[in-house]
Amino acid sequence: MTVWPAEEEELNLNQNLRKLVQQLGEAIHESVSESEQIAGVVRDIREQGFDVLLMLEATIGLNEVVEQPTGEGSDEEATGSEFTAQDVNFLRSLRIAIEGDAGEAGDTDHPPAHE
């Protein structure tokens, strides 16, 4: 298998990002397990005659930040609405169109969402 330089760079980035996300998960676990407030509440529940099993699920979402070219002003000005460019991208990912938003080329399959 041949790995091109760009693919190798992306693979390294993904591995580094995966390590950082794992570190974030470990930091969250450590924060919860060392919390005096949580330990106190668990102790109070046990004093009431119950055993405690605490399971937390963390969903970590990542959005790559796309830098705007300099001189464009704020995100609001860049999109011409009260939504930032990141807001618009998120709404598009949910297949929600914004009135007056032309969208991307070929994005005519989905009419704008109306309430």
Whether 107 has a pLDDT exceeding 80, the answer reads no
One-character DSSP codes across 34-103: T-HHHHHHHHHHHHTT--------------PPPPPPTTS--HHHHHTSSS-HHHHHHHHHTT---TT---
Q: What percent of the chain has pLDDT over 90?
A: 21
Check residue 52 and give its pLDDT. 92
Residue 77 has pLDDT above 80, yes or no: no
